[in-house]
Amino acid sequence: MPASSPLFDISKERILVTGATSGLGLHFTHLLARHGAKLALSARRKDKLDALVAEIKGAGGVAHAVAIDVMSGESVRAGLAEADEKLGGISVLINNAGIAIVKPILEYTEEEWDQVVGTNLRGAWLMAQGAAKIMVARKTGGNIVNIASVLGLRPIGQVPAYTAAKAGLIHLSKTMAMELAKENIRVNVLAPGYVETEMNRPFWSSKGGLALISRIPQKRVGQPEDLDGALLLLASQASRAMTGSVVVVDGGHLCSTM
């Protein structure tokens, strides 16, 4: 169902979502589908993608499954070409794929570091660069939304590779925005704070989780739907004058006391 304001209408957008089958990516996929966007959905597991596409089509939406492993440049290039063909062009990339490994920095292995940074930063760069090349070749312009984190702006312990990667993604997004403006390509960042998902839900009722919530000014952990307005803003023409922006949705996390 299109938004009431034409600026927020994404029914004509052709959107590729990475990491579409779980967590925030799954929530974003359903949100974009409800608002009428034509979707290409990517993740590594084709079976989960096919089930999600069938669900969206069953509800009257338009979606295509494109298996992409963002750790592989070859997979990214092939997947982008497939998504471009199936959608008839990519107008928006929701660059969401990401992982985290939680452990102290002194216990991190090289392989774990490479896996997290490779997915969250290198993989995001490969997707953004590849999508931008397609947009330039088609001379259509476009819109890239990189999903970072408030932890790319303010660190916390136990996730050193994740915080480093998200901080890098934020700065990369600003550089891409500066370089790609002349191609009519916008690059912005959505930086969520702590958001409750099925995977982390038990943590938020634990002693450690409650301690984190107590330091958030709003005294609540975010819900996926709290990100809906910001995502629709960035994915639509409502943000047509925005590029290089970082939209933070964090319940006041960044303005809390140390």
Report the interhelical angle of 160-180 vs 110-117 (nearest 10°).
30
Report the topology of domain 12-247: Rossmann fold (3.40.50)
The whole-number average pLDDT for the span 148-169 is 96
Q: Which of 76, 96, 160, 162 is catalytic?
A: 162
Tell me the per-residue pLDDT of 22-71, one tens digit each, with 9 for 90 and over: 999 999 999 999 999 999 999 999 999 999 999 999 999 999 999 999 99
Whether 194 sits among the annotated catalytic residues: the reply is: no
The whole-number average pLDDT for the span 81-97 is 98
Quick one: pLDDT band at residue 199, thresholds 50, 70, 90?
Answer: confident
Which pLDDT score is estimated for 4? 64
CA distance 43 to 16: 11
- Tell me what the pLDDT averaged over the chain comes to: 96
Domain residue spans in the chain?
Answer: 12-247
